Structure 1
């Protein structure tokens, strides 16, 4: 039997729960559209203020979440160095249930006596109300919350109501609102007593409602942000401050050890009650000094695809980044903001750490260069982009990173020869530069059924096309290589052993593949070009962007990718359009390079003799085809 107040009554509604806001929003809109209403009378509508507070509170949680996960700003001051995994994200998916409940309760309370008249809201400011609210918060809310919090830590209350909240190993601002209805009601009571007291005393005001609610949420989010915000020097300069305001370290100790640090915002009551963790300030000082900062073993150097997809980064919207990328209408209004941030990053000329995870005790990070895909094809910009990549490599080398893998266009042959430019310019690099294309080739080759005797290859003279052709001809598979350049074809053909050279055949038109049902696509195909494929053809792809799925009587493969091992920790974001736990093959190639401890650079042309070696190494370490 489910315990009362242990589950949300609207849980079955899913995202349709937001329809419960309908009456409140409808009344606010009605007040807004009332032509006879003046601005002052509009401001007397509680529904208008509840909607505005809802927007303000949601923005507060979101901004704190974004700040706490901007690793390029907060990496050195993170309290718990672990990442937030998909399990925690899914558990906290409906974190806003508490905000929803408080909004609906507010609508009911404010439309009942003695608040229905809204007389207190006529005043924009009343210092007496602030004094009353502060007094009630310190004298009633703080000790009440501590008492209720301690009660929730005793069985059976803990197992029924509070254990879910403690199941989140890494605190986040969104974790602050995650809990059962009983927990949310207790928090609502702690928040509501000071406000109610001020209004009952006749000293309520607009500024008190907005200010107190905002400060409550602000401090709550700060404590759960997992990032030390207040410098330990402030506590050293004014020692009583450590008992007047809590820190993320103070709260993380409670989540880790549970039987200490119960207070809401003021550790003073834990001090008086004997439940203050003795290491709270010492540990806060160590973390604020950068104790948890760690040099990554592996770095994947990515770039931005376009403005809209730039909002797929983990510090933007967790509900978006934790799922494979797809356009959402809700993101379109934020396009100007995303563009502004990107332009600011371009001006900074700096790479940014955007995500991380742990694998076999090794820290893997993703850095991104603030450049869009189209910029890589503008000749005057190539020099600046290469400079950005070079600076990232030198930074990684200085830090002590073992392997840096180049993503997508960062290893473009026309841009830097697949990374050869940087290795040749800096021969003493300790960091291994990897393009990861060897594993990409291996993934594509292992997708081809063993009974295939002939394939059609577009993009045949590219880096990947060359390696695939040379590998397949050794397996006595006939390769129709689409290229207009006889010189490039002959150069590749001469690389194959003499007995296998007849298996490489140059073709110049798509018509030559009309009877071949295995197409390896390394060059974008238009719908017209796809018409030449026979019914039942499968398109294996290593082209960016992927081709349009035009033919209903054919099948289309995805971009080469690998699933990370099951023991990966702290992974909570998807890599662009990839599924959860799946990364592009070039990313996985760098991971394998790091796990194997190989000392060579993987740049330039693909070594065909290493394809099987890299594939078997990937499987040995638990990576698998998705």
Structure 2
């Protein structure tokens, strides 16, 4: 049985090439120099500007609704937006293509529309009146019709398949629905033109206002103070709220109106519990996470890889793309603002085993960590985040790569020593990181070469491997630090730890474990076929085509992780860095100790088995 007529978009299979449908309009505007005064096709330029602003309106609302540091307490549906929903709504802007084609057709069919004045104040009154007496009631009737058996199953069920409303959900519907909606939007504009009061200003004001209210209703964040409806009871029937529209998404057979609940009142479809729910949501709901991963931004480009900038971009592994370059100055200014604000903020969350896991970010960028004068300020911000988590009742705080840097705070020991009575467990997660790297090394390996060998991770990996009677060439110029680590090994295993001071010493070793940056010149000493395992931040660049490069140690979260909708840096969907996963395991196992400072080599296998037991898998 085929799909219902106008239930799918004709350009579904075009992907990004669907934007070529704008091509004839853009080409016509450029060819006729539509931006010049007196151009006969100036209307075409205005139309393209209007639809660009429409897309921008939805994007701004999406950015706002994903600013969890501002909105998380007033979210109506508490679940996170997952990858499945993001993929469903990926082409949310299809309706803009449809409606600009409808508008262009109208301009060609009625040439008089091209000569509208820029402004006519009376047109606003006519448009508002027609919206109330025509668009609102007709939308109500049409919306209820789309909830009938055949129309719902063939058309409207798609819109209601979304669990968490977002501004992009407003555009996620079938072509038939958007054709009806476009026609209803056109009624006030056509009526004003027929009355002789149409104008460009009216078109911009009405259409952008319409989109503003549509996106607001789907934003899943309650905005209206409850007191305003108590002071002005009639107002609740003149403007809907995000809670009001969300009730329609959850109940389906109530709250059908476009923007004015008055028509639900007249039609007997107003949910009586809406106002109480709106009051409670506006008051705010405190959700205390059980686990927090304290992340940091890597650089200016990567700062744009967050849901409140571009949700679709953050749902894919990070990579520097051409469209980011024009946005770099904006991101740089935002970096300065965040640095000045200096407040840790929530950037994403997900649920695992029924518990809330949040990701917070320290307002510092990667290069800040290498500025000597910034050390105290960064530690202060991390300490504030830990103490905030302590007050909230968080059980485990896991520190991301640079937030636990040995030179910065001794792998977290600074905070534990300063606050010996902490109830929240501070975890660097390096035990699981070491386990992931060690389990990547092929069985049968007899020799490895390691840079960063005297770091926390390097020390633990070297001691573990020597117990397995694997020869470890530890690249270090400090004989004292090497000997200190060597003495930690049992007497019968010390012979497997070998200090080297030159990269040429590894000219025959095909297993390199990289904990310190390698330049292209240094990488040249590796023989063909070498695999570079990495725990260096940022990871080294792959210059050798005859070698392979591992990514930073990472693990895939269990399949029951819910609400996960953003990728962690350059990792795949559902994959997190091993230090993040190490904190998750610490929480799931209910460990009561802090995991800071030096790695307990004896616990590497214990933590690895615990991770596998809880459904985490190597990426």
Q: Normalising TM by the smaller chain, what interval?
A: over 0.9
Aligned to 1:415: 408
Following superposition, the deviation at residue 157 of structure 1 comes to 1.3
Question: Residue 417 of structure 2 aligns to a residue in which SS?
Answer: helix
The match for 1:619 is 612
Q: Any idea what the Cα deviations from partners look like across 1:561-608, whole Å, max 9, x if unmatched?
A: 000000000000000100000010001111111111111111101111
Structure 1: stretches of 5+ with no match in the other structure = none
Q: Is the 8 A contact 1:28 1:51 kept in 2?
A: no
Q: Which secondary structure does the structure 1 equivalent of 2:276 belong to?
A: helix
Q: Is 1:168 paired with 2:162? A: yes
Shift in Å, 1:28: 2.4
**Partner residue of 2:73?**
76
1:454 and 1:518 in contact (8 A); partners too: yes
Residue 27 of structure 1 deviates from its aligned partner by 2.6
Whole-angstrom CA distance in 2 between matches of 1:231 and 1:125: 34
TM-score w.r.t. length of structure 1: 0.97
Q: Say yes or no: does 1:524 pair with 2:517.
A: yes
Pairing 1:142-161 to 2, within 5 Å after superposition: 142-161=136-155
**Are 1:91 and 2:88 counterparts?**
yes
Tell whether 2:67 aligns with 1:66.
no
Equivalent residue, structure 2, for 1:12: 13
Deviations 1:526-548 (A, max 9, x none): 22222222222211111122222
Q: After superposition, where does 1:489-568 map in structure 2 within 5 Å?
A: 489-568=482-561
Question: Contact conserved, 1:171 with 1:224, CA < 8 A, in 2?
Answer: yes
Q: Which residue of 1 aligns with 2:103?
A: 106
User: How many residues matched?
Assistant: 618
5 Å matches for 1:233-252? 233-252=227-246
Alpha-carbon contact 1:563-1:624 (below 8 Å) kept? yes
Give the superposition deviation at 1:43: 9.0
- Residues 128-183 of structure 1 show CA distances to partners (whole Å, capped at 9, x for unaligned) of 21122112111111111111111111121111111111111000001101111011
1:77, 1:289 within 8 Å by CA — same for their partners in 2? yes
Matches within 5 A, 1:405-444: 405-444=398-437
Rate the CA distance shift 1:126–1:354 in 2: closer, same or farther, 3 A.
Answer: same
Cα 1:510/1:44, change in 2 over 3 Å: closer
Q: For 2:474, which of 456, 459, 481 is the aligned residue?
A: 481
Q: Give matches, 1:201-280, under 5 Å.
A: 201-280=195-274
Most deviating of 546-555 and 170-179: 546-555
Instruction: Check 1:334–1:43 CA distance in 2 against 1; reply closer, same or farther (3 A cut).
Output: farther
1:314 counterpart = 2:314:
no
Structure 2: gaps (5+ residues) = none
Q: Distance in 2 between matches of 1:400 and 1:191?
A: 49
Distance 1:167 1:450 in 2: 47
Alignment of 1:371 with 2:364, yes or no, is: yes
Q: Matched residues in 2 for 1:61 and 1:72: separation?
A: 20
Please give the alpha-carbon distance, in whole angstroms, between the structure 2 residues aligned to 1:213 and 1:43: 23
Describe the SS at the equivalent of 1:498: coil
Give the RMSD, CA atoms, in angstroms.
1.3
Tell me if the contact between 2:446 and 2:471 (Cα under 8 Å) persists in the aligned partners: yes
* Cα distance in 2 between the residues matched to 1:502 and 1:44: 82
**CA–CA distance in 2 between the matches of 1:526 and 1:332?**
26
8 Å contact kept, 2:32–2:41: no
- In 2: Cα distance, 1:33 partner to 1:77 partner: 45
